[in-house]
Amino acid sequence: MEKKFTTTINGKEFSISGGKIAKQASGSVIVQYGETTVLVTAVSSKNPKPEISFLPLTVEYQEKIYSAGRIPGNYFRREIGRPSEKETLTARLIDRPIRPLFVD
């Protein structure tokens, strides 16, 4: 069952839709604003581990170079391997503000 919310912000369409893809995740939505599209997924465990005294939160950010119009001309320059410095810093920028939202 697909759910969709749409509004206009600064003259551009902003929409959030969920329930269509990434059904193995606990939750997933596609967020679109203008020409930018982001897939957001969240996965959780139903069985918490009491021996862990911290929040095991992981943020993974990947910018697909073909989505930015930068097609690699070389087979070996594919998007495999470790994340770039920009991707690591962006993941930290996402992690820092949402971590306090979780109850200890």
User: Which pLDDT value is given to residue 83?
Assistant: 82
Residues of the chain with pLDDT under 50: none
- What one-character-per-residue DSSP string does 26-89 give? SEEEEEEETTEEEEEEE---SS--TT--S----------TTTTT---SSGGGSS-SSPPHHHHH
Give the residue from 15, 40, 16 showing the smallest Cα distance to 26.
40
- What lies within 8 Å, CB to CB, of 8 at 6+ separation is 14
Provide the pLDDT for residue 18. 93
List, for residues 26-46, the tens digit of each pLDDT value: 999 999 999 888 899 999 888
Give the per-residue pLDDT at 104: 64
Q: Read off the tokens for 96.
A: 């820092």
